[in-house]
Amino acid sequence: MGLAGLLAMVFGAAVRARAMEPTGIGRREWDGHLERAVTRAFADGEAFRATGLFDCLGYTATQVAEIAQVTPRPASLTVEWAAADPASGFFQRLLVTTHRVRYYDLTIERAVFSFTDIRLDVDALLTDRLVFRSVGRVGLETFVSSADILKVFDLVTRARGLSGLVMNIDRRTTRLRGRVRQGWLTVNFHLEGIPCLKNGRQIEFRCRRLVLNGLSLPQGVIRGMFSRINPVFDADQTWLNLHLDKIALEPGYVRSWGAILPAARSDPTPVSSNNPLPSTGRQGSRNLAPAPSTSLFPVEEAVSPRSSSLATKADP
């Protein structure tokens, strides 16, 4: 090989090396661009919609237009990533951990979004904008505290005469106790149970024990009551194709794992009266996801005239 050939090889290798990192920036700079881009996208409805995430997943323009309704808007977030060549826009994984996310009236203590095998628009990223060009999988992990669950039902419980609600969650069960008043009747209640997945689309509350004024109700009665309010969460009532992989109890929290899948071909099933959706503020528009059922526990049915023997006179 002559000198000319050697120089050509060296020069060619240098050109290829520069092509792999056209911006000449290192990991710290990529960290900064990603953190700023994700923070902006997750805090602003228009920026979240402009990411193109749901466009990549095959959702319609009408559906994507509603994205702003569920923009995460976390109190804080952290970003982690893994990429063989960030300059090309390909990332094996982008992990976004958010804290105190508002989902309609519910506050999610922690939500972890895991984007795998994605390609980002590099030019947009260098200007601190998050734009997806392709998406492999969008995983979602959530932690919801017992205190935040009770806050969702605060107005409902007061309107229905429920008071003194206390919820405790450990690894084995969920316990709820309180009082319900209808007219001059007051009943102290205590129930125990666990959330269960059904078909990867619904969450049902399986009540193991329901006690009214010290009297345990038979399982047959309990099953009948809860058959009329379950599921307490139903992903089939939304066009967002959400699949739930697992749900578990941890001290003080309900933890769930799932994924946002590409758009389903068919429309969601009609909304049932037992599990109403939150209003989007638009007449006739569809919601991204169902709100938790406000018919959380069938205590009112238990405190009916035929159950008056379980009740005591309310304190004056």
Same structural domain, 127 and 60: yes
The model's pLDDT over 5-34, given as tens digits with 9 standing for 90+, comes to 543 443 343 333 333 333 456 788 889 999
pLDDT, average across residues 270-286? 37
131 with 151, same domain? no
Specify whether 31 is located in the same domain as 101. Answer: yes
Residue 176 domain flag: yes
The length of the chain is 316
Other beta carbons within 10 Å of 32: 13
pLDDT digits (tens, 9 = 90+) for 167-209: 999 999 999 999 988 778 889 999 999 999 999 999 999 999 9
- Cβ atoms of 72 and 42 within 8 Å: the answer is yes
**Integer Rg of the chain from CA:** 26
DSSP bridge pairs for 106:
103
Q: What is the pLDDT of residue 239?
A: 77
211 and 94 assigned to the same domain: no
Would residue 12 count as lying in a domain?
A: no
* pLDDT given at position 305: 41
| Bridge partner residues of 246 (DSSP) | 257
pLDDT at residue 146, rounded to an integer? 94
CA distance linking residue 279 with residue 219, whole number of Å: 35
Pair (124, 165) in one structural domain? no
How far apart are the C-alpha atoms of 205 and 207, rounded to whole Å?
Answer: 6
Within this chain, do residues 101 and 217 fall inside the same structural domain, yes or no?
A: no
Domain that holds residue 164: 147-233+278-313
Q: How confident is the model at residue 288 (pLDDT cuts 50, 70, 90)?
A: very low
Query: Over the stretch 42-89, which tens digit does the pLDDT of each residue have?
Result: 999 899 999 999 999 999 988 888 777 778 999 999 999 998 788 899
Q: Are residues 113 and 59 in the same domain?
A: yes
**pLDDT score recorded for residue 300:** 54
Q: State the alpha helices, DSSP H only, in the chain.
A: 3-20, 27-43, 45-50, 53-56, 61-65, 122-125, 146-152, 154-159, 219-227, 299-302
Answer with the one of 135, 170, 195 that is the final residue of a domain. 135
C-alpha separations of 296 from 92, 175, 228 in Å: 40, 13, 11
Domain-located, residue 196: yes
Position 312 pLDDT exceeds 80: no
Confidence of residue 311 (pLDDT cuts 50, 70, 90): very low
Q: Distance (Å, rounded) from C-alpha 123 to C-alpha 131? A: 9
Please indicate, yes or no, whether residues 79 and 131 belong to a single structural domain of this protein.
Answer: yes
**285 with 207, same domain?**
yes
**Structurally, how many domains does the chain consist of?**
2
Mean pLDDT of the chain: 79
262 domain residue, yes or no: no
Q: Which of 135, 168, 197 represents a domain boundary (last residue)?
A: 135
Query: CA 238, 78, 81 angle in degrees (round to 5)?
Result: 90
> Average of pLDDT values for 158-165?
78
Residues 154 and 211 placed together within one structural domain of the fold: yes
Q: Last residue of a domain, which of 78, 108, 135?
A: 135
Residue 256 domain-assigned (yes or no): no
Nearby residues of 9 by Cβ (< 8 Å), 6 or more positions away: 1
Q: How many CB atoms lie within 10 A of CB 259?
A: 17
- One domain for residues 106 and 176: no
**For residue 78, which phi and psi values (nearest 5 degrees)?**
-130, 150
For 13, phi then psi, to 5°, come to: -65, -40
Specify the pairing of strand 185-198 against strand 162-169.
unpaired
Q: Tell me the C-alpha to C-alpha distance, in Å, between residue 65 and each of 49, 52, 69, 124, 288.
A: 7, 11, 9, 21, 11
Q: Is residue 156 domain-shared with residue 222, that is, in the same domain?
A: yes
Tell me what the mean pLDDT of segment 90-108 comes to: 92
In a domain, 155, yes or no: yes
Give domain status of residue 247, yes or no. no
Give domain status of residue 156, yes or no.
yes
What mean pLDDT is predicted for residues 234-248?
89
